[in-house]
Amino acid sequence: MIKGLKKNVLIFPGGTEIGLEIRNSLKDIKEINLYSAGSDVSNHASYVFKNHSIVPDINIKGWIGALNKILNKYAIDYIFPAHDDIIVALASNSDRIDAKIISSPLSTCLLTRSKTETYNKFKDLIPTPKTFNKIKEIDSFPVFVKPDKGQGSQNSFKINDSELLKALLKSNHEYIILEYLNGKEYTVDCFTDRNKGLLFCGGRERIRTKSGISMDSKPVDPKINKIFRYYANIISQELEIHGAWFFQLKLDSSGIFTLLEIAPRISGTMATHRVLGINFPLLSIYEKEGLNIDLMINNYHLQIDRALVNRYKHDIKYKTVYVDLDDTLILNDRINTELIKFLYQSLNKDCKLILITKSVNITENYLKKWRLANLFDEIIFLNNEDSKADHVDPENSIFIDDSFSERKSVFDKHKIPTFDCSMLELLIDSKV
């Protein structure tokens, strides 16, 4: 990319786990402005994007026109698909989309969207699951049943008998029946340059999954990764893949790594390799730009574990923050880093920061010790018998203190929002 020239990137949809990982990968890249779009359903995008737009579902007529209005409004350079169906929809209509799509060619997107076509393509090249066209072909249970076109583990089932299988197949004709693989499961994160070929292949064990998302994962050792790279080279040679992609494997009863699926997109837990130095979304943009790509991978061991995060919307307006020192900003003889994060966030929003304290420890050297000497616009020193409420200007102000009695007196007198440290997460603004 041209130095100093920013690219506008739209993540579509921004609220999926895929979209959130793309956001996390690109939010602090100086050359990129981020935008989000998605259909009008409950999701996390509006909590983490300053610019999130609503477009119709891709199955509703007129979605392309609505999307193009957004692309033109924000002068979007690149659109990053963040859902399997969106990948195919964008690739199928690339000539009608008013931005470049970060994706592999349509033929690759269509083939990998179908498990049946994927297995047929690679059954003679790498191990694939045994499939059954009819129930009478099954020689033993359990079997595994999943949609031919699906994502994660949605609508996937381990079936233990033929009667249950018959009932399930009646409800959906797009299911495929596979042998049940009972071993460990792995995801292999890859990056392919259309000119240089496969540049990165990193496998990770899926230790714990939830709704098809790897919640606990760690990179595999080099010996196993050598096998994965062999598979990756075959896939990369057989399919035209541009940028980031991944495939999933599972051990069968004989200990053979067996292909589950291939996806030409970002995965949510690619963060595992991002923190080692492989920023897949950014590299995919570079690949699209035709830049010469060089990789650097840090050499340390890690394991990722993912959990829910809380983010909030609120109607609190403030331009002044009053904050206590002891047991609030300095907590257990340590800086309260969550509060410091909020104070600097407030500083970025041109808020006035006022330290209000009854601490006998407060000296210039004490503040210097904690690197706080120049943070505050004003410091108010009080005696123990003083009430902080008498020294707070309530206009557009909030008050943060560990003391319930101080908070209550400020609230009772001024009716402004008051917070202790457990409430700070409400105030953190994660929008980019």
Of the chain, the end-to-end C-alpha distance in Å amounts to 21
Per-residue pLDDT at 363: 78
173: Cβ–Cβ under 8 A, 6 or more apart, which residues? none
pLDDT of 290-309, one tens digit each?
999 999 999 999 999 999 99
State how far the Cα of 406 lies from the Cα of 418, in Å rounded to an integer: 9
Per-residue pLDDT at 4: 59
Q: Which sequence spans correspond to the domains of the chain?
A: 7-103, 130-179, 184-305, 320-427
Per-residue pLDDT at 2: 55
Q: How far is CA 378 from the centre of its chain?
A: 39
- Residues 84-111: b if buried by 16+ CB within 10 A, e if exposed: bebbbbbbeeeeebebbbbbbebebbeb
Instruction: Tell which CATH classification among 3.40.50.20, 3.40.50.2300, 3.90.1150.50, 3.30.1360.10 matches the domain 7-103.
Output: 3.40.50.20
DSSP H/E element including 305: strand 304-305
State how far the Cα of 410 lies from the Cα of 356, in Å rounded to an integer: 12
DSSP state for residue 270 in the 8-state scheme:
G
Per-residue pLDDT at 152: 62
7-103 and 320-427, same CATH topology? yes
- Whether 48 contacts 34, CB under 8 Å: no
- Whether 45 contacts 118, CB under 8 Å: no
Q: How many residues does the chain have?
A: 432
pLDDT of 329-343, one tens digit each?
999 999 999 999 999
State how far the Cα of 199 lies from the Cα of 219, in Å rounded to an integer: 17
> Which residues of the chain register pLDDT less than 50?
none
pLDDT of 188-213, one tens digit each?
999 999 999 999 999 999 999 998 89
The second-level CATH assignment, the architecture, of 320-427 is 3-Layer(aba) Sandwich (3.40)
What's the predicted TM-score (pTM) here?
0.93
Q: How far is CA 53 from the centre of its chain?
A: 18
Class of domain 184-305: alpha beta
